Structures are given as structure tokens and as C-alpha cells.
Amino acid sequence: MDNLVQPLRQFVLHVRSKDVERTAELNSHIYIDLLEPITINSATEEIHQILLSGELPYSFYNISSQVNNNIIRFTANGEPLPFTFPNKNYDVNELVKVMNDGNFPFTVSYDRFTMKLTFSNTTNFTNILNLSNSTANKVLGFAENASDITVLSNQSTTSTGVVDLATVHSIFVKSNSSSNMVFSTRQGFSSTIQKISVDVNSGGIIYLNQNDARQHTVLNSNIEFIELKLTDQNNNLLDFNDINYELSVGFFVYPINKTIQTRNLTGNMRTANIDTQQSNMRPFTQQGQIRPQEFINTETPIEHKAKRLIIDDIIEQIQN
């Protein structure tokens, strides 16, 4: 079995959101000054960063201004107005109740079999759902880029999709210490170092699933200051409503250069140093360690020529 490359040094940073500085009122954007910086020789070493654990409260709301999904705009009797959902957790019954009890010019009903909403205009004038500049479209079952819908007096319209109250699918942990080996479909190069699945109901604790594929970020510089952001899948900072959370981050210092052996055409062995700094993509084992790669050609020129003659003979027999 190949020898595993062991880290030269390793560090674990335990983060409690209550202990660090935050930006504005949200503790989902924090700053950490390391009292003892992690230093490396960038010419011969690199740092692999791994999120080891996380305990996050499901204390954020599924509809709120923070996740930017709480406004439906409309035009009633020629006057454009917004309808704003109060920031809180909603089930479908509360969603319908809030719209029917407010200044919304439609009577809203929910079909539990189709999981869709119907908007009925019971007024004596024409109303318009201004979906083109609303933020609650997905919540109500419409596409994000939906066009405005005009509803005549005593007419109705039904959402094209189902009601979506599972608005936060996962938590993205982002850091200024990420590298250019992390990508996302949203923006190409990404500062995300880990995606945590939201697999509990509101009021529970979200744990980093140990079976989740972790991002192994490679850094080639010292770490003295860390900025962390916790966002939803749409890059909105989460509002934990002043409930604290914990994260643990591991930093593993590995050597950059590796020595491999190859065999030249004369059959002689030679040794070469490969500088992996040219490529940040390094293979990990399941335990997060790197296996050295060996590329050895054991075939001599005479063996190679003999194999070619045999192959040529087989091809000639097939053709005849």
C-alpha cells in the first residue's frame, strides 16, 4: 500500500459567533482575528482548509426581508401598491390568512391537492398582479421572471406552480480564505467552503452532515484574519434572530513538491521534482490525505517492438 502524505502541521479553529465581531445587526457575517496566525513558507508549503463541524440553529424565517421574498406588488383600481408579508415563519394556512386579512385586493384560496393558490378578484374594478417586480413569486407559486397578470372583476387566476415554503434549501459557508479551486453555477469562482443541508424543521439544530462532500480549499498564503458569511442558496445573509452558532475549521499544512520516478527509453530510472503549485487540484483520499502519484514505464524498447509486431500480424490476419 502506498505511503500516505501526512500534513506537516495541523490546526483547528473553533468559532463561537458570540465571541467574534459582526457586521451590522446580523451574526451571519463575522470577522475573526487570529491571535496566533497560521504561517507557511509559500514556496514549499500550502494549506488545506476543511470545515470539520457545524451546529446552526434553524431560527431564521422562511419568509422575510432578509431572504428577499416577502413582497407582492399589485395594481388596484389603477393605483400600484405593495403588499408586504411580515417577517416570520409561515405554513400555507398562515400565508393565506395574512393575505385575506390585509389590504390585498384579491381573495386567496389554497387547493391542498394541487398545492396551488387561486387569486379571485371580487372587486368591481380590474386588478393586476405585478409579478414582474415582486419578490414573493416563488413563495406564491409563480416563476421568478413571471409577467404581470391582469384579473378582471369577478374573475380569478391560479398560480402556475406549487406554493414554495421551503425557501432556504441549504446554508452556504463562505470565507475570504477560499481559493480559485471552488466553483458554483451562480458566479463561477466562489468563496464557498462548505454547503450544509437544511434537514430539520424550524426550531431544530442543523448539523453538518459528516457524509456531505466537503470542499478542500488550497491556500498558498498565511492566515491571520478570517471573514465568514452564512447565506442561503441565493446569497442572502441569514438572520438567526440573535441565536448563536458554532463552527470548527481545520487547517492542514502540506508540502508542495513531490518526487516521482520515471523510466526513460533506455530503461534507466530518473528522479524528477514536480511542483504542484502549478495546479491546485490535488487528489484526496476519504480521510482527506493525499496519495503520492507514481508514473513508471517498465516496458523496454525491445518489448515494445515485439508487441507492435504481434498487433500488426493480428490486424493482417483479420483483413485477409
pLDDT tens by residue, 243-297 = 999 999 999 998 986 544 444 444 454 444 444 443 333 333 334 443 334 334 4
Could you tell me if residue 226 is inside a domain? Answer: yes
Q: Are 297 and 263 in contact (CB under 8 A)?
A: yes
pLDDT attached to residue 317: 59
pTM (predicted TM-score): 0.73
pLDDT attached to residue 221: 82
Regarding whether 237 and 179 lie in a shared domain, the answer is: yes
Give the three-class secondary structure for 314.
helix
| pLDDT tens, residue by residue, 153-190 | 999 999 999 999 999 999 999 988 776 555 555 555 56
> 119: which DSSP letter?
E
pLDDT attached to residue 303: 58
In the structure grid, which three cell numbers stand for residue 278, read together? Answer: 502549478
pLDDT attached to residue 179: 63
With the CA atoms of 249, 212, 258 and 255 taken in that order, what torsion angle do they form, in degrees rounded to the nearest 10?
0
Could you tell me if residue 26 is inside a domain? Answer: yes
- Rounded Cα–Cα distance for residues 186 and 194 (Å): 15
- Rounded Cα–Cα distance for residues 286 and 195 (Å): 18
Could you tell me if residue 2 is inside a domain? Answer: no
Maximum pairwise Cα distance, the chain: 95
Give the three-class secondary structure for 112.
coil
* Closest listed residue to residue 219, CA positions, set 247, 188, 182, 246: 182
127-166: b or e for each residue (b if 16 or more CB lie within 10 Å)? bbbbbeebbbbbbbbbeeebeebebeeeeebebeeebbee
Query: Among 133, 158, 183, which residue terminates a domain?
Result: 158
Could you tell me if residue 299 is inside a domain? Answer: yes
Could you tell me if residue 4 is inside a domain? Answer: no
Could you tell me if residue 65 is inside a domain? Answer: no
* Closest listed residue to residue 220, CA positions, set 179, 191, 260: 179
Regarding whether 250 and 263 lie in a shared domain, the answer is: no
pLDDT attached to residue 261: 43
Q: Which residues of the chain, if any, have pLDDT below 70?
A: 1-3, 179-190, 213-215, 257-320
Number of domains within the chain: 3
Query: Among 103, 124, 158, which residue terminates a domain?
Result: 158
- Rounded Cα–Cα distance for residues 262 and 296 (Å): 5
Could you tell me if residue 23 is inside a domain? Answer: yes
Regarding whether 56 and 194 lie in a shared domain, the answer is: yes
Regarding whether 303 and 181 lie in a shared domain, the answer is: no
Regarding whether 137 and 271 lie in a shared domain, the answer is: no
Domain that includes residue 43, residue range: 9-60+168-256
Query: Among 256, 285, 301, which residue terminates a domain?
Result: 256
Could you tell me if residue 15 is inside a domain? Answer: yes
